[in-house]
Amino acid sequence: MARYENALDLAKTQVALRALRYGHFPSDIFDEYGWDMLLHLFIASIRKQTIYSDNLINMTSKNWTVGERWLKHLVAEDMVHRDQDVVTLTPKSLAQMETFHGEVLAAAA
């Protein structure tokens, strides 16, 4: 079993593994745009990077309309904050992502 040093390594691995699936299976069985957005925003938060809505949609969706709809949904659910073009996790979502990744790291230990 892989050993992860921290939540950033785990989140980056999740993104890489999710991308790898597309080379082996039809993409329509992996439509988890919301989760993908949360993962990318979590990584950006740890790295202290700015994510713009267009970049986030491009990283997570083949279709701009679908990506924009998911982004609006996450904002409405108070999981993501959108300040014009800059997108971040809300404090609540950041805490949830930290807790989730911490529990996964503990389970993998």
| Domains of the chain, start order | 7-108 (1.10.10.10)
CA-atom Rg of the chain in angstroms:
14
In the chain, at which residue ranges do the beta strands (DSSP E only) sit?
Answer: 51-52, 80-83, 86-89
Tell which wins on pLDDT, 11 or 68.
68
Dihedral angle computed from the Cα positions of residues 60, 109, 92 and 78, in that order, rounded to the nearest 10 degrees: 30
pLDDT in tens, 26-79: 666 567 888 889 999 999 999 999 999 999 999 987 789 999 999 999 999 999
Which secondary structure element, helix H or strand E, spans residue 28, and what is its range? Answer: none
What whole-number distance in Å separates Cα of residue 12 and Cα of residue 19?
Answer: 11
Q: Band the pLDDT of 1: cuts 50, 70, 90.
A: very low
pLDDT of residue 108: 67
